Structure 1
Amino acid sequence: MPSINDMTVGSPTRDIIKFAVPLVGGYILQQMYLIIDAAIVGRFIGVDALAAVGASSSIMFLIMGFCNGSCAGFAIPVAQEFGAKDYSKMRAYVANALRIVAVIAVVITVVTAIFCERILRIVNTPEDIFHDAYVFLLLSFLAIPFTMAYNMLSGFIRSLGDSKQPFYFLIAASLLNIVLDFILIIGLGMGVEGAGIATMTAQAFASLLCWLYIRKHLRLLIPTGNERAYDDKKVGRLLMNGIPMGMQFSITAIGVIMLQSANNALGTVYVASFTAAMRVKYLFTCVFENIGVAMATYCGQNIGAQKVERIKLGIWSAMKITAVYFVFTLIIIYPFADDMMLLFVESGERNIIDNAALYMRLSSYFFPALGLLTILRYSLQGLGFSNLSVLSGVMEMIARCGVSLWLVPTFGFLGVCYGDPTAWVAADLFLAPAVYLVYKKLKKVRK
């Protein structure tokens, strides 16, 4: 089956790059259509609408972080059993993971939709943008089942080492999203509601493409007979991998919510600045994030194959890749940060442009810390130590809360700019010794 990629043999650097490149391309496409959403909203509707779209971004990071993190965790036993070549057991994990995801998606969608208004109050959403923020957030919550379906199905595909097909599906979904943006926002004048509907439709389309691909080309993943049966032990293992990963993202998001709440209290101009900067920042940080995702599959397959020595080689290779990419980001971000913000607002909005560019430049200086964080965290998750990744999320949360409580009231938006860098460094201080001790333990057990 040509689309399957065994990462337990060959050059670790080649394996990681081969797997990560389609992931990065897919993530860039996701961020591009989010940027286009924001650009169309900011340019054709106005600054207030741009602020409304971004006012709840930390809330979506909390909710979707849990959903997507859980899906990534549920895919780890699938990758491990694939590495061990136990395909029947792998398919049994697929069947039970789908049950869990269906329940989580329904529960979270219902609860978040009911409490949508209260959530926006909690994060100090300004009154002048409250209605639009509510509409956009509610539509985002209603899209949760489609988003989880895509992340789970694409996670299964990636567990077999195939990161290309999900990338192709995102290309199609991104193009659909862009077309719908122009039709709904500009053509029909639907405002932020149009942006929400376009994103929801694109997510549903991407998940459908994943399902059709698995049914036609990756029948190795489709459970049959007794493999479809509910299994307490397998559900327990899936939950032990998935829930800690979801919680890790959610715990991290608590700090992000605190930071955004402090920023929202500064006023609509700063909300718009934060929204523009975050959209561009995610475009650059996706490389670090997806090298980390590649490490989860790489480590999962190699620990399943009991090739402990390849894990260390893979971590060092990933660190070298991120170091090279960091140099590239400095060359682009430092001179052109101001120009990037013109995607979202007119050149006369100097306060928004200056604030957003400052945020981008300060964040970029700390990208090596982010690269180390993603490599070590996802490696732990792939090895089955998701509990340690949760603790790294706690470190991030504490750091962001500290910035929100002390730096932002004193330094204003400058304090907001140091929120992410402080969190990344705090997490690294925990992760570096944790990974070292885990690797020593695995080597000892292997011997």
Structure 2
Amino acid sequence: MQDLTKGNPAKLIVLFTLPIIVGYLFQNLYNIIDTLIVGQTLGVKALAAVGSTGAIMFLSLGFVGGLTSGMSIITAQRYGAKDMQGVKRSFGQSIMAAFVVTIFLTAIGMVGLRPLLVIMQTPTPIFEMAHIFILVIWGGVITQVGYNVLANAMRAVGNSRAPLYHLILGMLINIVLELIFILVFKWGTAGAAFATVVAYGISTLTSWWHIVRYIPALHITWADLKWDRAEIRTHLSAGLPMGFQQSIIAIGSMTLQAAINSLGTDSVAGYTAASKVDQILVLVLMSFGVTMATYVAQNYGAREYQRIIDGMKRVLQMSIGSAVVLGVAEIIFGHYLVNLFLNEAGGHAGEVKHLAQIFFWANGPFYAILAVLFVLRYALQGLGDTKTPTMAGIGEMLMRSLAAFTLVVWLGFFGASFSNPLAWMASVSFLVPAWLKFHKKIMRQIQNQDESQLKL
């Protein structure tokens, strides 16, 4: 466990972020490996089928990630305030709240997935493959929820390494199972989905074992799991807005995906392959943001306001610098990674690679905006502000939806690709003013602390 309220902010942020970067890399590799193995073994149509469900996957994973991350902010604030009983209570109530929400999420998804794929104009040749893939993933969403609850709780008390270890184990199991289910059992896209669900389940079990054995701060009793209406309300008030925020963004992505689906199978495959490469690079920027949620929450709970300001300055410098490097790398080297997802024998690889490069040119130059977005959004969440990130998410949704109805019609695939930078700009327009407002508030609190010390 790591106390982020003491020590050099820049050093702490880097050391805490590195395991998160690797962890998110492996978490994304779950989906990337699905795409890679499916594309190489089952062909472009199967690749497009898995890719066409990407926005729905984002809806599921985004809501789960937002919900559990939001609830862990309460845990981190209590840990920063050295309220250890409150930490355990928060962890127990997070488990209960997540379990109940998962039941509703699973029930709604199992009924609504097929109509949703129809609404999204999923091409007929890939419809059934897409449906069975997302049906299995959604049916096993409880394994994703379980892992995220435990991983976010461990990060909340300053342990960013343990979630990484258990995710790596799950990913390795995922690779083995996916090859067996697809190549030996011939389960097609369903095999890829089953492998992912089982792997997440194993990561959940091993994460729980780690907490029981090594993290006393999260050792809970049945009393901590007992339903407490006030605590549940507190945690859902923090978690649901963040979950809905991600869902709102996902709805915009689904609208955009519907427009991309209308462009044909090659466009779907090109957008899918490029998006997977994009995810690998973006996770670095997102990891800085995730770190700041815990860093800000712990220091806000400990009333170490100057450390919040110092940490924000350092992380913005590091994140924006990383964004420039990653954006250039995507444009220059991205097409090499796209080759991993394609089977040259399929006959469509050349067009798919061309479309993927268009995506890279549309997105890479604007990564600095995305870097600011992640840092500010997660920092505001760490301060307990759920309203502004939600409004920023609505801005993203509206911009992507607008792009789907206009830019895709006018500019085709480039219009779809350029919707991302436009969405980032819309989001930042909400986040920057909110952060400046909080910055002034924090500076006043620092001044009041200094005056109190002078009086003493």
Instruction: Normalising by structure 2, report the TM-score.
Output: 0.95
Quick check: 1:201 aligned with 2:203? Answer: no
Superposed CA offset, 1:18-47 (max 9, x none): 111111101111223422221221121111
Whole-angstrom CA distance in 1 between matches of 2:360 and 2:331: 8
1:30 counterpart letter in structure 2: Q
Q: Which runs of 5+ in 1 are unaligned?
A: none
1:123–1:8 CA distance, 2 compared to 1 (3 A):
same
3-state SS in 2 of match to 1:150: helix
Q: Pick from 212, 221, 230 the counterpart of residue 224 of structure 1.
A: 221
Quick check: 1:77 aligned with 2:74? Answer: yes
3-state SS in 1 of match to 2:436: helix
CA contact (8 A) 1:372 1:428 kept: yes
Superposed CA offset, 1:337-392 (max 9, x none): 22221111134521111101211232111110111000000000011001111011
Whole-angstrom CA distance in 2 between matches of 1:330 and 1:401: 24
Whole-angstrom CA distance in 2 between matches of 1:65 and 1:41: 23
3-state SS in 2 of match to 1:381: helix
Quick check: 1:20 aligned with 2:17? Answer: yes
Moved more, 289-298 or 184-193: 184-193
CA contact (8 A) 2:123 2:261 kept: yes
Q: 1:120: which partner in 2? A: 117
Quick check: 1:358 aligned with 2:358? Answer: yes
* Superposed displacement of residue 405, structure 1: 1.2
* Superposed displacement of residue 429, structure 1: 1.5
| Cα-Cα RMSD | 1.4
1:155 counterpart letter in structure 2: N
3-state SS in 1 of match to 2:18: helix
* Superposed displacement of residue 251, structure 1: 1.1
3-state SS in 2 of match to 1:51: helix
1:202 counterpart letter in structure 2: A
1:133 counterpart letter in structure 2: A
Q: 1:8: which partner in 2? A: 5
Superposed CA offset, 1:52-86 (max 9, x none): 00111101211221121000001111000000001
CA contact (8 A) 2:74 2:235 kept: yes
Quick check: 1:429 aligned with 2:426? Answer: no
Quick check: 1:288 aligned with 2:277? Answer: no
Whole-angstrom CA distance in 2 between matches of 1:29 and 1:124: 31
Q: 1:386: which partner in 2? A: 386
Q: 1:210: which partner in 2? A: 207
2:428 counterpart letter in structure 1: D
1:232–1:357 CA distance, 2 compared to 1 (3 A):
same
Q: 2:238: which partner in 1? A: 241
Superposed CA offset, 1:96-146 (max 9, x none): 111111101111112101222111111110111011001001011012100
Whole-angstrom CA distance in 2 between matches of 1:430 and 1:37: 35
Q: 1:173: which partner in 2? A: 170
Q: 2:451: which partner in 1? A: none
Whole-angstrom CA distance in 2 between matches of 1:64 and 1:32: 14
Whole-angstrom CA distance in 1 between matches of 2:360 and 2:135: 29
Whole-angstrom CA distance in 2 between matches of 1:196 and 1:230: 33
Q: 1:274: which partner in 2? A: 271
Whole-angstrom CA distance in 2 between matches of 1:412 and 1:431: 30
* Superposed displacement of residue 220, structure 1: 1.9
CA contact (8 A) 1:341 1:357 kept: no
1:161 counterpart letter in structure 2: G
* Superposed displacement of residue 226, structure 1: 4.5
Moved more, 392-401 or 185-194: 185-194
Whole-angstrom CA distance in 2 between matches of 1:105 and 1:131: 25
* Superposed displacement of residue 445, structure 1: 4.7
Whole-angstrom CA distance in 1 between matches of 2:82 and 2:290: 21
Whole-angstrom CA distance in 2 between matches of 1:54 and 1:217: 39
Whole-angstrom CA distance in 2 between matches of 1:141 and 1:302: 36
Q: 2:160: which partner in 1? A: 163
CA contact (8 A) 2:324 2:368 kept: no
* Superposed displacement of residue 326, structure 1: 2.1
2:120 counterpart letter in structure 1: V
Whole-angstrom CA distance in 2 between matches of 1:43 and 1:101: 36
* Superposed displacement of residue 232, structure 1: 2.5
* Superposed displacement of residue 238, structure 1: 0.7
2:141 counterpart letter in structure 1: I
Q: 2:452: which partner in 1? A: none
2:424 counterpart letter in structure 1: W
* Superposed displacement of residue 189, structure 1: 2.2
2:10 counterpart letter in structure 1: T
Quick check: 1:438 aligned with 2:438? Answer: yes
* Superposed displacement of residue 331, structure 1: 4.3
Quick check: 1:307 aligned with 2:295? Answer: no
2:40 counterpart letter in structure 1: R
1:39–1:228 CA distance, 2 compared to 1 (3 A):
closer
CA contact (8 A) 2:324 2:365 kept: no
Q: 1:32: which partner in 2? A: 29
* Superposed displacement of residue 309, structure 1: 1.3
Quick check: 1:188 aligned with 2:185? Answer: yes
Moved more, 246-255 or 291-300: 246-255
Q: 1:100: which partner in 2? A: 97
Q: Which runs of 5+ in 2 are unaligned?
A: 449-456
Q: 2:409: which partner in 1? A: 409
1:325 counterpart letter in structure 2: S
Aligned pairs, how many? 444
Whole-angstrom CA distance in 2 between matches of 1:192 and 1:435: 44
Q: How does 1:315-330 map to 2 (within 5 A)?
A: 315-330=312-327
Q: How does 1:50-89 map to 2 (within 5 A)?
A: 50-89=47-86
CA contact (8 A) 1:88 1:227 kept: no
1:93 counterpart letter in structure 2: S
CA contact (8 A) 1:92 1:229 kept: no
* Superposed displacement of residue 225, structure 1: 6.5
* Superposed displacement of residue 398, structure 1: 1.4
1:339–1:432 CA distance, 2 compared to 1 (3 A):
same
CA contact (8 A) 2:266 2:352 kept: yes
CA contact (8 A) 1:158 1:297 kept: yes
Superposed CA offset, 1:195-248 (max 9, x none): 001111111011111111111111321223754443222222111110111111
Q: 2:257: which partner in 1? A: 260
Whole-angstrom CA distance in 1 between matches of 2:326 and 2:223: 50
3-state SS in 1 of match to 2:390: helix
